[in-house]
Amino acid sequence: MITQMNVRGLLFDPYNNAYIVILRDEENSDMLPIWVGKSEASAISFALESISPPRPMTHDLMKSILDNVDAKVLSAVVTDLKDNTYFAKIHLWYGDSEYSIDSRPSDAIALALRAEAPIFTTEEVLRKQNSEELERWLENLKPEDFGKFET
């Protein structure tokens, strides 16, 4: 069972010198905080603000290669959470087949935003995330509360 998510925020985490992408479902009842690096956060931020840099950045290049061969980004799915690492897949339509490509969530999200494709996650990921002490994290980011890293 998959749930559609939206990017609801992009925060800086000073304890880990990293950025956090906040995904929430439509009812704002579920949340996935995904730690990402600076360049991925930039890429996501540019897409959120519809900023078009003068030269194509890495995710713009990614999209332009796909556009060039008429490959469509169908969706980005956060598929698993293991050992504090999120896994994702990018679903593409090319020719007359669907392809499913392993990816970090940050790249998947950065690409999905540019392609205006939906972002989903699975019930299992939400369950795994919720079983971590989310409330405590929300109230108080402490240095020992290591968040979920991409790698």
Which residues of the shown chain bind another protein in the complex (CB under 8 A)? 37-40, 53-59, 61-62, 64-66, 68-69, 71, 85, 87, 90, 92, 94, 99, 101-104, 107, 150-151
Q: CA triplet 119, 120, 125: central angle to 5 degrees?
A: 135
Comparison of 106 and 129: residue with beta carbon closer to another protein: 106
Separation of alpha carbons 88 and 90, rounded Å: 7
Least distance from another protein to the Cβ atom of residue 49, Å: 16
Least distance from another protein to the Cβ atom of residue 139, Å: 30
Comparison of 85 and 122: residue with beta carbon closer to another protein: 85
Give all strands (DSSP E) within the chain, no chain letters.
Answer: 2-13, 18-25, 31-36, 72-82, 85-94, 97-103, 119-122
Comparison of 20 and 36: residue with beta carbon closer to another protein: 36
